[in-house]
Structure 1
Amino acid sequence: MAHSNCIAGVDLERISHIGSHLQSAYIDAGKLPGALTLVARRGELVYCHAQGLRDVERGLPVERDTLFRIYSMTKPITSIALMQLYEQGRFLLDDPVHKYIPSWSNLRVYKTGVYPQMLTTACERPMTIRDLLTHQSGLTYGFMNRTNVDAAYRSLKLDGGPGLTLDRLVEDLARLPLEFSPGTAWNYSVATDVCGYLVQVLSGLSLDEYFQRHIFAPLGMVDTFFTVPADKLPRFAACYQFQPGGSFSLQDDPQDSNFSKAHGYLSGGGGLVSTIDDYYRFAQALANGGELDGARIIGRKTLEFMRMNHLPNNQDLPGVSVGSFSETPYDGSGFGLGFSVKIDVAKSQTNGSVGEYGWGGMASTNFFIDPVEDLLMVFMTQLIPSSSYAVRQELRAIVNGALVD
């Protein structure tokens, strides 16, 4: 039965609770500067609402074409890029990484000690490309602040910073031990940056050029880049840091941001800036099984393969994870080739469907695609860290609560 206040089986009055909830609970309360939320179902745009400020200091509003740092929402794009090359027979998932990065042929696992004096032991088996795509590689991130290994990453400034390049990252990682033997645990890490490096090795193109040719241009993504062009800088949002007590402070001024200068670090793990409409085009292509408006970026079967749970014995993340940091709540979620995948809705304690997949970014951006309901959401804001508030789960509750047929 069709309702006049519905689009694609979504009740427009119920979906508008997104805007009122974000306004009263977050923006008026001084917890978020602003937000932009988009919901689409069955290929139709159902809801898109901008609210609050993209730049508090300059009093500029969030607008539909605002540019956001998407940080780890870069990872699904990089994973699709690498799997495009898989579809061309360029590599197999169980290939050892050292086949393509020879300096990695004798990686070792951390045992004890502090960098540079570390005792190590041999890996149980070589790291594979699947280990990279699923974060089961044994690599880590410096910002984890959990182990002596991530402390070594920090001392070498491997999370980004002046002078870091993909070549230098891969070179430095060759000399550092892994947190664990590949395939034995899950840990969020620079692995997707290494996937970006492999895209360059396998394709012969720089990562930005590869993205442009094989993903952005085909999908009509005109506002996604590693460095914000000067003429688009006025649309670039400021980024804010959570402060205890529920306020925020300026973390990155758009006029003075590393994202607005040529920096040379093509981070497939977290380097892109994008708009909600560009990311919507990417997400809608995935929701459509790999194509949008006649441009196919990935095969249907390949995407089905990517959104399976690739964790051992179909476990969820708490069963295999060693660190606690992630861009998604752990319970009831497994991990595929570049996305988290919901495998147990009740255990997740958040409304949704088995098979829902997506990811988020450090500045609290998030997206998910629900193949069962042919539904997707993209959420943009700029507040670090993403764990500050449970806004992602609240948005899922509202979005799923608005489905009426």
Structure 2
Amino acid sequence: MTLQFEFDPTRLNRIATWMDRYVSDRKYAGSSVLIQRGGDDVYFNATGLRSLEQDLPFERDTVARIYSMTKPITSVAIMMLAERGLFHLDAPVSNFIPAFNDMKALVPGAERIDQVEPSQAPTLHQLLTHTSGLSYPFNPGVLPQAMDEQDILFKPNQGALADMADRVADLPLAFQPGARWEYSVSIDILGRVVEVVSGKSLADFFAEEIFSPIGMTETAFSVGPEQVDRFASLYTPLAGDAMALNEASTGSDTLRLVDDPGKSPFQNADMYSGGGGLVGTIDDYMAFVDMLRRGGTCDGGRLLSPETLKFMMRNHLPGDIASMGPQSFAEQPMEGMGFGLGGAVVMDPSRARCPGHVGDFSWGGMASTFFWMDPVADVSVVFFTQLSPSSSYPSRAELKALVHGAMIT
């Protein structure tokens, strides 16, 4: 049953004040937010600049790095192939990427990368749910340190996806698959599975089978020539690498430029990162979210069945994320939050300490972008900005509070 309520326009306008404050406090250079109810726009606002250096405004058609908001799209691609009967989710990834045969995992309490024991290859389901034993170089631990030393991060200029996937398989897992939840490059590995199964590059599969039917003409792994003037700069408040969370230290400049649109590797990407490689506009991403809201259908046809979407947006963990012993960075709170296929699922808003409804489906990106879809209120929200890391400020929880504060029953 859909919640019956009205949006209070005065309360919605608090969002603009909040966004302006982030800009005036030099937390974000600029940002935009789009809210839909039942697939129709009810609120949009953009403020600040997409480039401080060139004094260019952050606008509705600004092109931004969505980083990990690529993950739900890759998860949809996997489920599209699963619906065709091409594999089942308990299949080991080694069925598709032979380098994952004869896997090893670090022994509990390992202090060196060579302290290992035999392990099964993670399954597709474990990859989808971040219980695979893989990790990210910005997480704490022995495996992340090795990944950092070997620069395994699926950056846009790091070459072929197949080669990087094999490099991931050369390292041991952080733990036995299924034992814990840890945010990881799992979805990048699934991007390679999409390539192997479909016979297409991930870029072509996205373009032909997801973006074209949805009408996402502004989303890709590389910034198009016609988009260069609209591509936003990326900033960080950190003194060092904007992705090096283990060594994070605040710098003197809260908006230090770290990726200049004129020199960005996103202008000619050769790595198709299913975990974090896409750039696009806020309207394009809302079109993707609306496809989820509509149960897998869009103006260009049907991508998934409603039953598959319901399956994806259920919690697939034994409990909440916090109960799975995570030691990693994540794009969401962990208490009261489960994890589905491609995003987080609210199990208990009170334990998540953020207004919302049971079943809210969401995820974010390292540049502080965020989306959520609320099936109870039939509300979808997409927020764009360009500041890394996303843990810098509590903007996501604040935005949810603002949106729920404008719902008057």
Per the normalisation by structure 1, the TM-score is 0.94
Tell me which residue corresponds to 1:159. 153
Letter in 1 for 2:312: M
3-state DSSP of counterpart to 2:48: strand
Tell me which residue corresponds to 1:48. 44
Distance 1:254 1:220 in 2: 25
3-state DSSP of counterpart to 1:172: helix
Tell me which residue corresponds to 1:175. 170
Tell me which residue corresponds to 1:268. 274
Find 1:305's aligned residue among 308, 311, 326: 311
Tell me which residue corresponds to 2:242. none
Find 1:251's aligned residue among 255, 258, 261: 258
Distance 1:163 1:267 in 2: 10
Tell me which residue corresponds to 2:245. none
3-state DSSP of counterpart to 2:163: helix
Cα offsets for 1:52-94 (capped at 9, x unmatched): 0000010000011000000000000000011000110111111
Distance 1:174 1:346 in 2: 39
Cα offsets for 1:288-337 (capped at 9, x unmatched): 1111235222110000000110012xx11111032230111112101011
Distance 1:361 1:239 in 2: 13
Find 1:404's aligned residue among 401, 405, 408: 408
Distance 1:163 1:213 in 2: 24
| 1:234-383 superposed matches below 5 A | 234-243=229-238, 244=250, 247-261=254-268, 263-293=269-299, 295-312=301-318, 315-383=319-387
Find 1:58's aligned residue among 50, 54, 57: 54
Tell me which residue corresponds to 2:19. 22
Tell me which residue corresponds to 1:4. none
Q: Report the alpha carbon displacement of residue 187 of structure 1 after superposing the two structures with TM.
A: 0.4
Cα offsets for 1:158-181 (capped at 9, x unmatched): 103544321111211221100000
Q: Report the alpha carbon displacement of residue 44 of structure 1 after superposing the two structures with TM.
A: 1.1
Distance 2:263 2:116 in 1: 41
3-state DSSP of counterpart to 2:226: helix
Residue 213 in 1 paired to residue 189 in 2? Answer: no
Cα offsets for 1:17-71 (capped at 9, x unmatched): 11111212x1111111001000011111101111000000100000110000000
Deviating 4+ runs (over 4 angstroms): none
Question: Do the aligned residues in 2 keep the contact of 1:84 with 1:298 (CA within 8 Å)?
Answer: yes
Query: What percent of counterpart residues are identical?
Result: 43
Residue 193 in 1 paired to residue 188 in 2? Answer: yes
Question: Do the aligned residues in 1 keep the contact of 2:355 with 2:401 (CA within 8 Å)?
Answer: yes
Cα offsets for 1:111-140 (capped at 9, x unmatched): 33545xx121022x4411000000000000
Structure 1 residues without counterparts, runs of 5 or longer? 1-6
Across the aligned residues of Structure 1 and Structure 2, the Cα RMSD in angstroms comes to 1.5
3-state DSSP of counterpart to 1:136: coil
3-state DSSP of counterpart to 1:196: helix
Q: Give the count of matched residue pairs.
A: 391
Tell me which residue corresponds to 1:225. 220
3-state DSSP of counterpart to 2:274: coil
3-state DSSP of counterpart to 1:247: coil
Letter in 1 for 2:57: P
Question: Do the aligned residues in 2 keep the contact of 1:158 with 1:164 (CA within 8 Å)?
Answer: no
3-state DSSP of counterpart to 1:231: coil
Question: Do the aligned residues in 2 keep the contact of 1:143 with 1:159 (CA within 8 Å)?
Answer: no
Tell me which residue corresponds to 1:80. 76
3-state DSSP of counterpart to 1:81: helix
Distance 2:270 2:129 in 1: 26
Distance 2:231 2:392 in 1: 22
Tell me which residue corresponds to 2:244. none
Tell me which residue corresponds to 1:108. 104
3-state DSSP of counterpart to 1:47: strand
Distance 1:139 1:289 in 2: 30
Letter in 1 for 2:294: N
Larger CA deviation: 320-329 vs 39-48: 320-329
Question: Do the aligned residues in 1 keep the contact of 2:154 with 2:164 (CA within 8 Å)?
Answer: no
Question: Do the aligned residues in 2 keep the contact of 1:228 with 1:259 (CA within 8 Å)?
Answer: yes
Tell me which residue corresponds to 2:92. 96
Letter in 1 for 2:293: A
3-state DSSP of counterpart to 1:346: helix
Q: Report the alpha carbon displacement of residue 8 of structure 1 after superposing the two structures with TM.
A: 8.0
3-state DSSP of counterpart to 1:387: helix
Distance 2:273 2:13 in 1: 35
